[in-house]
Amino acid sequence: MAKQARAVATRQQIITGAARMFEQSGFEGASLGDIVDGAGTTKGALYFHFRSKDELAKVVIDEQHQTSISTVHEIAKTGAGALRQLVMLCHEMGRQIVHDPVVRAGLRLTLEFSGTVGPDQPYLDWIDSCRKLVDTGVEHGEISASVDSDTLARYIVGAFTGVQLVSQVLARREDLEQRIDEMWTYLLPSIATTRDAAELADIRASRWTPPESSTPTAESGS
Amino acid sequence: MAKQARAVATRQQIITGAARMFEQSGFEGASLGDIVDGAGTTKGALYFHFRSKDELAKVVIDEQHQTSISTVHEIAKTGAGALRQLVMLCHEMGRQIVHDPVVRAGLRLTLEFSGTVGPDQPYLDWIDSCRKLVDTGVEHGEISASVDSDTLARYIVGAFTGVQLVSQVLARREDLEQRIDEMWTYLLPSIATTRDAAELADIRASRWTPPESSTPTAESGS
């Protein structure tokens, strides 16, 4: 039992170490030797859990993706209006990018692999989550009935992707929360049914953060 | 004289060949051997013009960047209103991405190098061009006086960057013009002073394409 717990901890430690190397050096630049050194483990332990660098990259992308999906579900539980949930979602994604190396690595790998043809499932799932929220917002009269949920959902994902990328290049993401807020400043008046400035500001100010206990503790165990 | 013209043509041929390899395989994946083969030239010719793969990548990024800068100037010459020029600029950038391998390669390389810290000048110059247009639009009463030109310019560049990236991943950029049009659908009502739907649609429909003669002919000579 203790042995199994240790194996789980070691596996997570390797994933976090790999994430740090992928984030720093990209897929091509990260060597298994560097990953093992960075994770404070051995090649034997790495090969016990993972077959190859390809598999490690896939696991990092999957883990980031699972984090996103679970964030969508957690935010849904707040019962907030659809527009507020969309704002919360973008800000919480931004917060994860800033604080979680696995999320940053997953994004970098997804970007690298999308140079030509890459994994499109993360984008499709995220667009799908946004579309459902837009549909709900239209049903409840929060979002203008003239809005097409497919195109708006795709636009939110596209705009967010680019805003975080430019924030990364120009400011090492230090201004990311502000840039996401500006994105909603330029988006809300075009899609919300309300024209009330105070209400729009209040929607823009919506935030959600996970309870402390769910913060990843991958780096502690061994 | 003929010799010099041939050297210029060969240099451009190598740049185009390199662009195709960088676009397809990324910086790490593109080998000088592949570039030479793809360009139909020799390693000797390549090393006559360029010191290294690094220099070739830099030249490709610079060439894409120069194309953007010159597009901004050409569109300014139309004398169109600032909002129309911003719309034209985004659509012409989109057109270049679809049709010019050097532009696509420049974008991919800029993205790859921005994984951690990369070249920020292309983003800064593009944001600067947009900011000047936004300032003009505010002065002329086309863009709402409450708009901050710095944040709007940065948002336009960010949103465009992400919209084209998602179009690339999900549709090999076949829907790029439509996605850029949707971007302006969601942006214009928040920033334009006019509330007139026909006028907004007319602004959104603004396009500019370069005269036929300026289409690159790099692939013909040798």
In sequence order, which residues have a C-beta less than 8 Å from that of residue B199 and are 6 or more positions away? Answer: none
- Count of helix runs (H) and strand runs (E) in chain B: 10, 0
Complex ipTM = 0.89
- Distance CA(B21)–CA(B24), nearest Å, equals 5
pLDDT in tens, B58-95: 999 999 989 999 999 999 999 999 999 999 999 999 99
Question: Of the candidates A39, A61, A51, A157, which has an alpha carbon nearest to the alpha carbon of residue B161?
Answer: A157
Cα(A222)–Cα(B211) distance, integer angstroms: 64
B121 Cβ under 8 Å from any chain A Cβ: no
CB B172 within 8 A of CB B38: no
Of B24, B155, B161, the CB nearest to A182: B155
For chain A, the domains span 1-50, 57-209
Helix/strand number for chain A, H first, E second: 10, 0
Q: Which residues of B touch A167 (CB under 8 A)?
A: 158
CATH architecture of the domain A57-209 equals Orthogonal Bundle (1.10)
CATH assignment of B1-50, among 1.10.20, 1.10.10, 3.30.565, 1.10.3470: 1.10.10
How far is it, in rounded angstroms, from Cα B110 to Cα B129?
A: 18
Q: What is the pLDDT of residues B103-154, one digit of tens each?
A: 999 988 887 776 544 567 788 999 999 999 999 999 999 999 999 999 999 9
pTM above 0.95, yes or no: no
Of A158, A160, A190, the CB nearest to B179: A158
Question: Which residues contact residue A180 at a Cβ distance below 8 angstroms, ignoring those fewer than 6 apart?
Answer: A90, A91, A94, A160, A163, A164
Tell me how far apart the alpha carbons of residues B43 and B103 are, in angstroms, rounded to a whole number: 24
Residue A157 to residue B166, Cβ atoms within 8 A: yes
Residue A219 pLDDT > 80: no
Which residue carries 């800033």 as its tokens? A98
Task: Choose among A132, A122, A134, A150: nearest CA to A192.
Answer: A134
CATH architecture of structural domain B60-211:
Orthogonal Bundle (1.10)
Q: Which amino acid is present at A33?
A: G
Mean pLDDT of chain A, nearest integer: 91
- Give the pLDDT score at A220: 41
Q: Kindly provide the b/e burial profile for residues A52-74, where b requires at least 16 CB atoms within 10 angstroms of the residue's own CB.
A: ebeebbebbbebbbebbeebbeb
What does the pLDDT look like over A58-94, one tens digit per residue?
Answer: 999 999 989 999 999 999 999 999 999 999 999 999 9
Encode pLDDT of B144-196 as tens digits: 999 999 999 999 999 999 999 999 889 989 999 999 999 999 999 999 999 99
**Nearest by CB: A155 against B116, B158, B183:** B183
* Under 8 Å between Cβ of A36 and A46: yes
The β-bridge partners of B192 are: B143
B26:A112 CB<8 A: yes
Chain B residues touching residue A203 (CB < 8 angstroms): none
Q: What is the C-alpha R_g of chain A? A: 19
- State whether residue A28 sits within 8 Å of chain B by CB: yes
3-state SS, residue A173:
coil
- Phi, psi torsion values for B143, nearest 5 degrees: -110, 140
Which residues of chain B have a CB within 8 Å of the CB of A160?
Answer: 162
